Structure 1
């Protein structure tokens, strides 16, 4: 079964509770195995600045579900949590992104894996590095190298571990 990594983010309602409950929902799904969740991080919004800070985390799992079925599952969970997305890169109740699916590179109309921007987002790299510090991305980059670069980047002060 391929290892999959799911990015989670929220900044409306009680985002920490929402992410904890979303991680629990993923952990209870019969087609996801060995489910683990990173620490939770608070970060400034990547998009418009006139919105609350985000809470982010990453979930690791193994699954025999095909990638598009994983995407469907994530969208179903978002809907169960009352997904609200008001504007591009804006506030949201829950966002679940398939970051990695094994070593696969997927480019379809509905799905791009590795997730675009994965290597540029400290709120993804640091929680992902907690779960899989030795991970090598499909393009050959190593997660430990990316995490080291993030920790010294000027934006690193915006990311705070909260649990």
Structure 2
């Protein structure tokens, strides 16, 4: 375990705290956009408040909530400075979540300014391309997932 307390687990918790407001705000907007008639109809048929939430509101807004989660995931993937400050910046690969690590955005932020022309800049450029590809893949996957969930719920 890293004695300084900086590790992947800490970075994960910080990212979760950072993306929670984004996900909560978008999810709330999605749930508020559901027509009031659906709530009223559920209550008129004798449904309790919790039955209305779990059997009417959440299924109706599920694709929007999934979209909120994917947007939050995209934000977390691109987060650089918060993770760079706490993750430990160790280039050693470890299977433990309690060991220091290095993320692609951290490598780019820490090394690009002092990179030597040639191979080092090329390697960092390829890392940036990999990060772009990963983010693009997650965003395309999110769009497909939202469309699939939206079709499934109709």
Larger proportion of helix: 2
* Structure exhibiting the larger radius of gyration computed from Cα positions: 2
Same fold (TM over 0.5): no
| TM-score interval, smaller chain | under 0.3
TM-score of the two chains, using structure 1 as the length reference: 0.25
